[in-house]
């Protein structure tokens, strides 16, 4: 801070905290603009989501919770290359399928640039799954509490709380004022590093499940009394997020309020923010947090008045979020590897040479559990088909390669992402582009983090004529390859 923390002037808090907060006047709210490039809510089949997540592979888990919120979130990719997040509930979470569908459809009607919007759901047998936009740049908790390169700047922290308030205002205006367990893990960053509120929190973890899974020290007092979440409870949780952003730590509200009453604000503010904000701005944010954390729910502000209070505080409004966050621009060009470059320009001859040199080393670690009976009866024939396919592939006899690789695949006793990759290229050479895409996607189902599969998808999609989707697949291949090689790359 440019000022001494003790200089923050709390003289006006006591009287203002005790007053009920009046309804704020209407303000122009850019966060309320709905988006039209997101597809309408739909129901997915379980098979579609299995394919998208490589059968819910452990490599695709992006978050999971314990006993209090027994569900797991996976990243995935649909056939049209749209990246998704899939929340898989505990099997007994929603026993009433109709109630789950009704609730999901209601949330699925929301469309806003401040939300990680809900795209669909799946309700088959005991499975209950939600599908949302995938946010590739981690959570607020990661950037605020577990940062590696730089602490979050003051201007970005202010942007986060404004966007969050705008998201809550939009949801409230659409009749969805209840948000369950609002915390730093519910705030996500999109490909441009803009903060968004996860749509998953608009539904409970189960029909009768708890709305809060965090430590009781952070739970709204009325929830402890009644077990019910109210719109005012959401504002209380918003107040705890304001404290998180001000302090850079997860401070229990009771302790924070004690620090405020004792004027011990130096203990409350993040030392990493020194020189980045003024006395007045710090005072206003602390005052707003205090109002949100009032014991009596009726004395807390509503989302509209939060937006009104936070809008004038915004700093560096012309600076893109990815710059403030120190993250790569989603549109910036990352240097491509030889395979990525070959797939980008559709150089099938170069792709063939690279796959030949790569061989089968990336098949190591792929599980192939075979019984002794399978080994004796079918293994030799299967291996012969693969060997003949490899000979044809090397000699560029792609028709025969397709035939022999198909024999190997159809027997089904072994799985090999490399065989699917080679057959994919063989289909590309034969101008069977959809078949090539299918094989490249199947290779990724077998090996979810294999960059070669993504690159081949890019080549097939480009051949089909879907350049935007090809660009997405190419970018994903670059990211996976960078991670594999231990270099930096945007997730």
* Strand 118-124 with 42-43, pairing: parallel
CB atoms within 10 A of CB 356: 13
Catalytic one among 26, 37, 181, 244? 181
In order of 59, 130, 162, the CA distances from 202 in angstroms are 26, 11, 19
| Beta carbons of 72 and 64 less than 8 angstroms apart | yes
- Determine the Cα–Cα distance for residues 215 and 227; give it in Å rounded to an integer: 14
Gap between the Cα atoms of 145 and 149, Å rounded: 12
Q: Write out the two tokens for 374.
A: 């399978």
Q: Give the angle 140-144-147 at the CA atoms, nearest 5°.
A: 110
461 and 437 in contact (C-beta within 8 Å)?
yes
How far, CA to CA in Å, does 304 sit from each of 168, 194, 301, 375?
A: 9, 20, 8, 68
CB 83 within 8 A of CB 4: no
State whether residue 375 is helix, strand or coil.
helix
Element (H, E) at 463: helix 451-464
In terms of residues, how long is the chain? 491
Residue 412, class by beta-carbon neighbours within 10 Å (0-12 exposed, 13-18 middle, 19+ buried)?
Answer: exposed
- 363 is a catalytic site residue: no
Rounded Cα distance between 284 and 279, Å, is 9
Q: Which residues are catalytic?
A: 181
């Amino acid at each position: 801070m440019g000022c001494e923390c003790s200089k923050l002037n709390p003289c006006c808090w006591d009287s203002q905290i005790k007053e009920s907060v009046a309804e704020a006047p209407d303000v122009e709210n850019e966060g309320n603009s709905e988006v039209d490039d997101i597809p309408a809510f739909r129901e997915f089949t379980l098979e579609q989501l299995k394919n998208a997540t490589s059968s819910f592979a452990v490599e695709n888990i992006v978050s999971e919770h314990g006993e209090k919120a027994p569900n797991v979130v996976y990243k995935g990719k649909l056939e049209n290359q749209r990246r998704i997040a899939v929340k898989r509930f505990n099997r007994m979470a929603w026993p009433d399928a109709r109630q789950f569908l009704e609730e999901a459809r209601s949330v699925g009607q929301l469309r806003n640039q401040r939300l990680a919007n809900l795209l669909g759901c799946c309700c088959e047998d005991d499975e209950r799954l939600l599908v949302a936009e995938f946010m590739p740049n981690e959570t607020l908790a990661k950037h605020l509490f577990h940062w590696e390169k730089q602490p979050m700047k003051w201007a970005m922290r202010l942007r986060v709380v404004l966007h969050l308030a705008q998201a809550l205002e939009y949801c409230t205006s659409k009749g969805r004022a209840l948000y369950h367990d609002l915390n730093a893990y519910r705030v996500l960053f999109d490909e441009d590093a803009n903060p968004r509120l996860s749509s998953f929190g608009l539904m409970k973890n189960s029909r009768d499940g708890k709305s809060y899974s965090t430590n009781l020290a952070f739970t709204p007092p009325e929830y402890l009394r009644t077990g019910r979440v109210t719109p005012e409870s959401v504002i209380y949780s918003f107040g705890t997020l304001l404290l998180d952003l001000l302090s850079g730590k997860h401070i229990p509200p009771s302790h924070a309020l004690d620090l405020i009453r004792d004027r011990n604000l130096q203990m409350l503010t993040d030392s990493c923010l020194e020189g980045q904000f003024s006395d007045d701005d710090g005072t206003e944010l602390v005052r707003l947090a205090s109002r949100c954390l009032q014991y009596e729910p009726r004395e807390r502000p509503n989302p509209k008045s939060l937006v009104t209070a936070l809008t004038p505080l915004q700093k560096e409004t012309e600076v893109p979020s990815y710059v403030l966050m120190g993250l790569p621009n989603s549109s910036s060009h990352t240097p491509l590897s030889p395979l990525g470059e070959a797939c980008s320009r559709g150089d099938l001859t170069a792709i063939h040479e690279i796959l030949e040199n790569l061989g089968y080393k990336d098949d190591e670690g792929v599980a192939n559990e075979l019984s002794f009976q399978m080994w004796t009866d079918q293994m030799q024939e299967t291996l012969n088909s693969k060997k003949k396919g490899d000979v044809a592939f090397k000699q560029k006899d792609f028709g025969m390669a397709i035939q022999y690789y198909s024999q190997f695949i159809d027997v089904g006793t072994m799985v090999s992402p490399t065989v699917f990759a080679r057959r994919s290229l063989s289909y590309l050479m034969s101008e069977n582009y959809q078949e090539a895409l299918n094989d490249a996607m199947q290779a990724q189902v077998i090996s979810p983090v294999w960059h070669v599969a993504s690159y081949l998808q890019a080549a097939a999609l480009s051949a089909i004529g879907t350049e935007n989707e090809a660009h997405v697949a190419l970018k994903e291949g670059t990211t996976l390859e960078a991670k594999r090689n231990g270099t930096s790359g945007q997730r």
